[in-house]
Amino acid sequence: MASLLRNTRRSFKIISLQQDSRKQLPKLNATGVLLAGGKSSRMKKNKAFLELEGRPLVERSLEVLHAVFAEVLISSNKPELYAHYEVPIIQDESLDRGPLEGLYQGLKEATYDVVFFVACDMPFLQGELIHFLAGWIPEYDVVVPRLHSGLHPLHAFYHRRCLPSIRTNLEAGRLKIIDFYPSCSVRYIEETELRDFPDLSNIFCNVNTPQEWTAILRR
């Protein structure tokens, strides 16, 4: 597995971002987890089912994850909403601990040691970029993009080695994801390293409010 992921990094080239990534790159022996457990309090509706080009965001994201990963999971405390997608659903053991709990349960339940976590409210998920990020796992415990706009811990890879650190923070009530980073080996992927990918602002945008969603629909 290590050689496969390292080779992804060393030989990766952007051949054509318009072509279907499923025809270009092999599936990774890793797990992709779609985090769909947020309360969507600012949106006032479940963001996973917002429709773009006639398809809910959850379907758009699952299509990309299925193309990239050997295993795909959904993290949600409302499994009945996602049962028809025929994807295994994992639930939090303790509620109200946010996405950090989702990371913990996902790492525990995943078949593979390497797990990519992504929020369900990112409309323009791109398989080629995910493959690129995978090149630094499992040499590091965490591989996370760091753009000028900030970190993206919910579009990042985590190794199962993170579990003890995450558990310690959960037990201490430190629920911010990046708070456990200092106890792990982290590879920050800088924006300059992603310069071959156009429209990073689109790829990494997420939806939190009706106004943001309106802006996306107008693009």
Query: Are the beta carbons of 188 and 146 closer than 8 angstroms?
Result: yes
Q: Which tokens sit at 163?
A: 């579990």
Cβ-based neighbours of 164, under 8 Å, separated by 6 or more: none
Residue found by looking up tokens 């992504």 in the block: 118
Annotated binding site for Mg(2+): 121
C-alpha separations of 80 from 6, 25, 106, 162 in Å: 38, 33, 18, 29
**Phi, psi angle pair for 149, to nearest 5°:** -80, -10
Annotated binding site for GTP: 35-37, 47, 92, 121
Query: Using CA atoms, how far apart are residues 11 and 38, in angstroms rounded to an integer?
Result: 36
Annotated binding site: 35-37, 47, 92, 121
